[in-house]
A = this chain, B = another copy of it.
Amino acid sequence: MSDLYLVEAVNDALRVEMERDEDVLVIGEDVGRSGGVFRATAGLLDRFGPDRCVDTPLAEAGILGSAVGLCMAGFRPVCEMQYDAFSYPCLDQLITHVGRYRWRTGGKMTFPITVRMPYGGGVRAPELHDDSPETYYVHTPGIKVAIPSTPADAKGLLAAAIRDPDPVVILEPKLVYRTERGQVPDGEYVVPLGEARLAREGSDVTLVAYGAMVRVCERAADALDASVEVLDLRSLKPLDEQALLASAAKTGRVVLVQEAPRTCGYAAELAAILAEKALLDLRAPVVRVTGYDVPYPYWAIEDAYMPSVARVVGAARSLLDF
């Protein structure tokens, strides 16, 4: 066990997986010489050399597109997108090829691509360094998506993604990259995709979240005078539907929290599942606490945009008082 920041756990996972399997390559902008703008890839160039940790040209579609070809040559590329909003140029390759190529070969060829990026707001950064783009990835067939909230999960989920035969997108909450440390198993450590984590047990109301919003929900749970369950999904696709339905069955009250804009956000998918499969369990409406359907704002007012403890508490109370 080591006591690591979330971003250090990412770095640890990359080092361990690159040692374990020499087909694993890390490619992206500034991942080599500087070790990444968040230092997530620090030390990899020196340890594994310029053929396995590659500073690419500044072109996100080129990064993901060449990763498809690298897979055809038997590699397992781990592509870093420098920031959430700078991953959008790669969406075309992601949607038209990364998510479809395996099907196109009748399952004969696999595309074990990992795309990882820091995501989310609250870091006082200039425009377009704050997006929560999970919907664009989750909606795309053939793509798996995971979002850790703790250092240990950051390592384990990334390792699982790198070993997964299918393309996986990992969104890393940059807001908690270096806030709290956490215990992280040394050496090989894998957290299987598709298993949610019960962050806190409770019986009155369930707060469902992922990434940086898990902390917000935990603080909201502290602030509520009720027995609150906090479900950290960890994996959005595949989703641990059983865990979601079990918690809904138990509490009958569910608050869904996401940073992303509301419309067609991931919370909508969760609500739809509940509306279809848990209707009779629900003792109150399913409410969403989300970012608003507006551009992510300049940072002087970003706190008002981000789902806050107060907003989550308010939503939970409305269900408890329903």
- Residues of chain A touching chain B, judged by Cβ–Cβ distance below 8 Å, are 61, 85, 88-89, 91-92, 95-96, 99-100, 103-104, 127-128, 135-136, 138-142, 237, 260-261, 263-269, 271-272, 274-277, 279, 282, 284-288, 292-295, 297
Indicate if the CB atoms of A135 and B139 lie closer than 8 Å: yes
Indicate if the CB atoms of B89 and A92 lie closer than 8 Å: yes
Chain copies in the assembled complex: 2
7 chain-A/chain-B pairs, Cβ below 8 angstroms:
A61-B89, A139-B263, A263-B269, A267-B272, A275-B286, A276-B287, A276-B288
Indicate if the CB atoms of A138 and B88 lie closer than 8 Å: no
The answer to whether residues A263 and B295 also contact, given A272-B271, A285-B276 and a CB cut-off of 8 A, is no
User: Pick the contact of A295 from B142, B269, B285, B295 — CB < 8 Å?
Assistant: B142
Indicate if the CB atoms of B279 and A272 lie closer than 8 Å: no
Residues of the B chain whose Cβ atoms lie less than 8 Å from the Cβ of A128:
96
Among A92, A95, A265, A272, the one with the most B-chain Cβ atoms within 10 Å of its Cβ is: A272
Residues of the B chain whose Cβ atoms lie less than 8 Å from the Cβ of A104:
127, 295
Measured in the bound complex, the distance between the Cα atoms of B244 and A144 in whole Å is 32
Indicate if the CB atoms of B272 and A268 lie closer than 8 Å: yes
Given contacts A91-B92, A103-B294, A237-B263, 12 further A-B contacts (CB under 8 A): A61-B89, A85-B96, A88-B96, A103-B297, A139-B261, A264-B268, A267-B272, A275-B275, A275-B286, A277-B285, A279-B285, A279-B286
The answer to whether residues A95 and B88 also contact, given A271-B268, A271-B276, A275-B286 and a CB cut-off of 8 A, is yes
Measured in the bound complex, the distance between the Cα atoms of B271 and A290 in whole Å is 16
Residues of the B chain whose Cβ atoms lie less than 8 Å from the Cβ of A140:
261
Residues of the B chain whose Cβ atoms lie less than 8 Å from the Cβ of A261:
139-141
User: Pick the contact of A284 from B141, B279, B284 — CB < 8 Å?
Assistant: B279
The answer to whether residues A294 and B139 also contact, given A263-B237, A272-B268 and a CB cut-off of 8 A, is no
